[in-house]
């Protein structure tokens, strides 16, 4: 009886060790790994821009819909966070941001009861903000921004009456002025965009309360329809419709992860513009990670990063790194 008990105990330990090794191997093989936590309070719907090797995060909202104006910078080379001068406008979430000529720009957004059309310029050399010309379109939140050939574009989004937009404007810092340009064919809010080889790609979001499946490329002159995000007719089907995913670009590929489609998502997908095709990668589900929406995404040196976001009423302050396995 004693011998049998010892044998059963040894079998249990072997199985336990094997399971632990399997788990360790699973984590080691995952494309996702834990990074350095964000130093600010947990938040989602923040705005972010990159200048050199520094990534700036500002505004957003946390628990109990608390909005922020604090600004933080992440030094990719040292993996450290530092606080910077506060954003000078009213606290808000779901603003847009971009960077050109070594300066960052943040504007639009909402505080829950009011929509904004103001914009501000950040100078990292002096750690200071100054107002610039207001966005000429309707005040809104959930808009998108991107830069093509050093020209920033801002558009789409939703106003205080839940009306969606498809208008776009460019900003000229030399004249401190905005110019209306070609609208995207379809209105949408809470969409995603990324730029590869000076071509912007726009997808996702909602229009009139329904998830949008259309996906477009824009070269600065013309909008071109690409393969929709759902409803493929070949033997490989997928549905990438979603709001608020985190986005980053690695090499010649665009990546989206998380977001919402009826519920909070954890899936990660890669877009290859050379063949107009999406490929699935590891879900955002390794130990310690949680499915999320409205997170910040950026990339550097072949690594994608996801910071913050939220699931339900819970905001996050963790950072996750993504290294794709092709």
Query: Which tens digit of pLDDT belongs to each residue from 309-324?
Result: 999 999 999 999 999 9
Average pLDDT over residues 117-137: 98
Tokens, residue 106: 């943040």
Backbone angles phi and psi of 203, in degrees to 5: -155, 175
Residues 170-195 pLDDT 10s: 999 999 999 999 999 999 999 999 99
How far apart (Å, rounded) are the C-alpha atoms in residues 284 and 144? 23
Q: Comparing 95 with 234, which gets the higher pLDDT?
A: 95
Whether the per-residue pLDDT at 21 is higher than 60: the answer is no
**pLDDT value of position 188:** 98
Q: State yes or no: pLDDT of 14 exceeds 60.
A: no
3-state secondary structure of 90: coil
pLDDT beyond 60 at 203: yes
More confident residue, 252 or 22: 252
Give the pLDDT confidence score for residue 17 in this predicted structure. 44
185-304-195 Cα angle (round to 5): 25
- Say if CB 104 and CB 152 are below 8 A apart: no
Going across the sheet that includes 192-196, the strands are 192-196, 199-203, 215-218, 223-225
More confident residue, 152 or 233: 152
Mean pLDDT, the chain, rounded, equals: 91
Residue closest to 156 by CA, chosen among 180, 134, 181, 187: 187
Q: Which residue has the higher pLDDT, 13 or 314?
A: 314
CA distance 81 to 76: 9
Distance CA 56, CA 71 (A): 7
Q: What's residue 13's pLDDT? A: 40
Beta bridge partners of 268: 257, 281
The whole-number pLDDT of residue 214 equals 97
Mean pLDDT, residues 291-313:
97
Residue 250 — φ and ψ, nearest 5°? -125, 115
pLDDT score at 56: 98
Give the pLDDT confidence score for residue 238 in this predicted structure.
87
DSSP state of 276: T
233 vs 52, more confident: 52
**Closest to 90 measured CA to CA, from 115, 72, 65, 73:** 115
15 compared with 38, residue with greater pLDDT = 38
Sign of CA dihedral 68, 175, 168, 54: negative
Domains and CATH numbers, the chain: 35-322 (2.120.10.80)
The 3 state secondary structure assigned to 278-291 is: EEEECCCCCCCCCC
Tell me the mean pLDDT in the region 196-209. Answer: 97
- The reported pTM is 0.90
* Residue that wins the pLDDT comparison between 23 and 203: 203
Alpha carbon distance 83, 79 (integer Å): 14
Q: How many CA atoms lie within 13 A of 83 on its CB side?
A: 9
State the Cα angle at 98 between 249 and 266, rounded to 5°.
45
Which one is predicted more confidently, 236 or 70?
Answer: 70
Q: Work out the percent of the chain whose per-residue pLDDT is above 90.
A: 85
**Rounded-to-10 torsion of CA 100, 105, 107, 109:** 90
The stretch 281-300 carries a mean pLDDT of 93
| Length of the chain, in residues | 326
For residues 98-114, average pLDDT: 98
């Amino acid at each position: 009886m004693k011998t049998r008990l010892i044998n059963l105990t040894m079998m249990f330990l072997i199985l336990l060790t094997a399971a632990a090794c399997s788990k360790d191997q699973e984590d080691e093989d995952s494309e996702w790994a834990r990074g350095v936590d964000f130093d600010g309070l947990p938040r989602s719907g923040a705005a972010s821009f990159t200048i050199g090797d520094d990534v700036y995060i500002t505004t957003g909202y946390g628990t109990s819909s608390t909005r922020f104006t604090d600004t933080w910078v992440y030094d990719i080379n040292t993996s450290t966070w530092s606080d910077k001068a506060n954003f000078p406008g009213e606290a808000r979430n779901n603003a847009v941001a971009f960077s050109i000529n070594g300066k960052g720009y943040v504007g639009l957004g909402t505080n829950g009861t009011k929509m904004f059309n103001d914009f501000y310029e950040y100078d990292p050399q002096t750690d200071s903000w100054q107002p610039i010309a207001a966005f000429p379109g309707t005040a809104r939140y959930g808009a998108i921004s991107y830069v093509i050939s050093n020209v920033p574009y801002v558009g789409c989004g939703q106003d205080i009456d839940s009306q969606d937009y498809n208008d776009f404007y460019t900003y000229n810092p030399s004249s401190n002025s905005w110019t209306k340009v070609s609208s995207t064919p379809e209105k949408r809010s809470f969409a995603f965009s990324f730029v590869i080889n000076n071509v912007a790609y726009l997808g996702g979001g909602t229009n009139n309360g329904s998830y949008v499946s259309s996906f477009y490329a824009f070269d600065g002159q013309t909008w071109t329809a690409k393969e929709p995000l759902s409803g493929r007719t070949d033997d490989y089907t997928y549905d990438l419709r979603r709001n608020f995913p985190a986005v980053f670009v690695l090499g010649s590929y665009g990546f989206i992860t998380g977001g919402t489609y009826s519920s909070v998502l954890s899936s990660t997908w890669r877009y290859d513009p050379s063949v107009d095709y999406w490929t699935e990668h590891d879900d955002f589900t390794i130990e310690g990670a949680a499915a999320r929406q409205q997170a910040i995404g950026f990339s550097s040196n072949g690594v994608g990063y996801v910071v913050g976001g939220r699931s339900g009423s819970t905001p996050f302050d963790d950072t996750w790194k993504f290294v794709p396995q092709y």
